[in-house]
Amino acid sequence: MPRVYIKYLIIGAFCALVSAVFVAVKVSFVQAEDIFLIEPADMSQTSTRDQRVNQRKAELKVQINEQSLKNLAARCEKVQKVVVTLKTRDEKVLIARHDFYIGSANKLNYIVENLKKRDISTASVETASQPFTTAVNKYLVDAGSYKTAIDDLAAMSCSKDTTGLRATILSAQQLRAQLASDVKNVKATFVQIKAAVEQAKKMLPKAGS
């Protein structure tokens, strides 16, 4: 599998700006309901590994000649060792990014809720947040699918179903590439959010006024 390293997303300026507004409006810790991020269903709980592998084989129409099957079968244990290492590393990245996105959404929700309490228009912040919500939800779904594929790869008996192993490798590769694209799409939404939050910050009463 290609080693595509997914970097941590660090948006320092955005976080600082959100935190500034967060403090300025003296947030009460009650989550608002304007930004909805989903928690995708755990596919390991809704389907069996065999069902998922068979679905991948059907969707990807994997066809491997006899010699390729033998070659992959001979290397399957080495492949799975690489997968276990990849799984351990990527799980940390997935958790960190998940927490960052959820935390960002919560801060935006707090800002919107408390701006409303001050009778300050939240239209620009809410509008700017919509692409963020869509992009993050897409990432969360793909991240769940990728995690399931990697978990299946690490646990499946590759010598018993080499075609299934190949299909799951291909699926994981495609999902990993999609995650990289998803992260870029989420990052792009912060430009509008930053501008909207900056505008909202200007509408807050100055200290002592």
pLDDT tens digit string along 72-92?
Answer: 777 877 888 888 888 999 999
* Alpha-carbon span 56 to 44, nearest angstrom: 14
List Cβ neighbours of 133 (8 Å cut-off, separation of 6 or more): 35, 36, 37, 105
CA distance 148 to 49: 9
In this prediction, residues 32-51 reach a mean pLDDT of 78
Summarised one tens digit per residue, pLDDT across range 94-147 is 999 999 999 998 888 888 888 888 888 888 989 999 999 999 999 999 999 999
User: What's the CA gap between 106 and 119, in Å, rounded?
Assistant: 20
Task: Work out the pLDDT band at 208, boundaries 50, 70, 90.
Answer: low
Instruction: Report the range out of 24-28, 149-153, 157-161 with the highest average pLDDT.
Output: 149-153
Cα distance between residue 112 and residue 125, in whole Å: 7
Confidence band, pLDDT 50/70/90 cuts, at residue 49:
very high
- Region 40-61: what's the mean pLDDT? 88
Q: How many CA atoms lie within 13 A of 21 on its CB side?
A: 31
Confidence at residue 207, expressed as pLDDT on a 0 to 100 scale: 60
